[in-house]
């Protein structure tokens, strides 16, 4: 069983705050790391797929970094808005393993 | 494009009944995934297909679960007989799995999820 952990489990910030959370995954046999955004009552929406150590990806105010050697990825949100409220999931794909999701970080942004 | 289509959106059935969930992937996608989401276990991959062929079904909980993909535009997940512990939201997702080295190609591409089927087994 692969260990894909996300922290914190939940986060409550105010509008305008910048925030970040972590996904930890096995540091061996890395193939790809996915980030998804999952709003309540909707289905997961892909944010990034990252494959190379040192990768940095950006989509609007959201960005992500990847360190495959130490087995972690950070997701950053700059200037959080209420519409950013969602659960952010990471998923790890190893060279010989299926895609395994973390349990997510639930973000709530209030005015 | 309509995105990934799942039906039904909600299903309530009695224990012991057969349940069939359906999925239509995005046209042109060659990989299809079935997931189950529960409060206790989060999002779990049950099975996935590449080019209509089942690749990894190690996530299928037991023999009561089966999945088929008769063609590139349709897949089913069947539970027979259903049990109350099967109650969950079942998601289907599809992706375009490009070969490594192709232009812009990430071999294992992002997945597009359907709206899910909420199954309740009484």
What is the 3 state secondary structure string of A60-102? CCEEEEEECCCCEEEEEECCCCHHHCEEEEEEEEECCCCCEEC
Distance CA A56, CA A73 (A): 10
Chain A positions touching B42 (Cβ under 8 A) are: 101-104
pLDDT of residue A1: 67
Looking at per-residue pLDDT, the higher value among A81 and A94 belongs to A81
Chain A positions touching B59 (Cβ under 8 A) are: 98
Q: Are the Cβ atoms of A43 and B59 closer than 8 angstroms?
A: no
Grouping H, G, I as helix, E, B as strand and the rest as coil, residue B86 is helix
Cα(first)–Cα(last) distance of chain B, in Å? 36
Q: Are the Cβ atoms of A49 and B33 closer than 8 angstroms?
A: no
pLDDT tops 70 at residue B108: no
Q: Are the Cβ atoms of A101 and B56 closer than 8 angstroms?
A: no
| CB-based contact, B115 to chain A, within 8 Å | yes
Q: Are the Cβ atoms of B108 and A42 closer than 8 angstroms?
A: no
pLDDT tops 80 at residue B7: yes
Distance CA B51, CA B72 (A): 7
Chain A positions touching B99 (Cβ under 8 A) are: none
The mean per-residue pLDDT over the stretch A95-104 comes to 86
Distance CA B65, CA B21 (A): 11
| CB-based contact, A98 to chain B, within 8 Å | yes
For residue B117, the chain A residue with the least C-alpha distance is A43
Q: Are the Cβ atoms of A101 and B45 closer than 8 angstroms?
A: yes
pLDDT in tens, A69-88: 999 999 999 999 999 999 99
DSSP bridge pairs for B118 = B10, B89
pLDDT of residue B105: 43
HSE-up of B36 (CA within 13 Å, CB side)?
A: 20
């Amino acid at each position: 069983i692969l260990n894909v952990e996300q922290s914190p489990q939940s986060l409550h910030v105010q509008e305008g705050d910048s925030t970040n959370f972590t996904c930890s995954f096995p540091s061996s046999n890395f193939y790809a790391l996915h980030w998804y955004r999952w709003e309540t009552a909707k289905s997961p929406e892909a944010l990034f797929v990252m494959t190379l150590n040192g990768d940095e990806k950006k989509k609007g105010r959201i960005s992500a970094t990847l360190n495959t050697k130490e087995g972690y990825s950070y997701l950053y949100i700059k200037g959080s808005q209420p519409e950013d409220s969602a659960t952010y999931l990471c998923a790890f794909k190893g060279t010989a393993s299926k895609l395994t999701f973390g349990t997510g970080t639930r973000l709530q942004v209030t005015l | 494009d309509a995105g990934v289509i799942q039906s039904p959106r909600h299903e309530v059935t009695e224990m012991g009944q057969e349940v069939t969930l359906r999925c239509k992937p995005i046209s042109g996608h060659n990989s299809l995934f079935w997931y189950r989401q529960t409060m206790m276990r989060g999002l779990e991959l049950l099975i996935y297909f590449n080019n209509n062929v089942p690749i990894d079904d190690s996530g299928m909980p037991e023999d009561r679960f089966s999945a088929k993909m008769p063609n590139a535009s349709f897949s089913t997940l069947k539970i027979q007989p259903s049990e109350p512990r099967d109650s969950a939201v079942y998601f289907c997702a599809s992706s375009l799995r490009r070969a490594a080295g192709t232009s812009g190609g990430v071999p294992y591409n992002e997945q597009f999820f359907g709206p899910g089927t909420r199954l309740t087994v009484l």
